[in-house]
Amino acid sequence: MIQQSGSAFSKYGLVAAFLLVFSGALFAASNDKIIERIAPAGSVCMIGDSCAGGVSVASAGGAAGALDPEQTYNTYCVACHGTGANNSPVFGDAAAWQPRIDKGMDTLYSNAVNGFNNGAMPVKGLCMSCSDDDVKAAVDYILSSVQ
């Protein structure tokens, strides 16, 4: 009887070992499926990474060439200088521009590039990709409407 009990124990031990190995294999397969399901849907590729394939952009500051002054005005300046927002002089209004012109072009350029009046005239009219020369050309374009 003792032998039978040991034999039964061996059978149960063998079954338990088999179930343990089988469940481990199931867990590994299940774990792989979980990892697959929670994997990111895509990836981020930054300029300069090998995945970007040589794509580049123009650097800030006009390195790719000067911007068109009219386009710069229509993109960045018109919001205020087309409407008079923030008490700004309106495009084509010679009377509003004359006191600013009287201060000199260096002052006018400096205010456009560096900002003026506690941010009412923001730095570079918020065109952070514009070079100083791009901003000055936009000022010249605006002034051409009053001269």
Token pair recorded at residue 84: 């008079």
For residue 53, the one-letter residue type is G
Q: How does residue 144 score in pLDDT terms, banded at 50, 70 and 90?
A: very high
Domains of the chain: 69-143 (1.10.760.10)
Distance (Å, rounded) from C-alpha 136 to C-alpha 129? 14
Main-chain dihedrals φ then ψ at residue 116, nearest 5 degrees? -160, 155
Q: List pLDDT tens digits, range 28-61.
A: 667 778 888 888 887 777 766 777 665 555 544 4
List beta partners, residue 116.
121
Handedness of CA 56, 58, 63, 66 (dihedral sign): positive
For residue 108, the Cα-to-chain-centroid distance in whole angstroms is 31
At residue 55, what are phi and psi to the nearest 5 degrees? -70, 140
Which residues are paired to 121 by β-bridges? Answer: 116
pLDDT in tens, 4-29: 555 555 777 677 776 666 666 666 66
Range with the poorest average pLDDT among 38-42, 64-68, 125-129, 140-144 = 64-68
What is the model's pLDDT at position 141? 95
For residue 134, what is the enclosing H or E element? helix 132-143
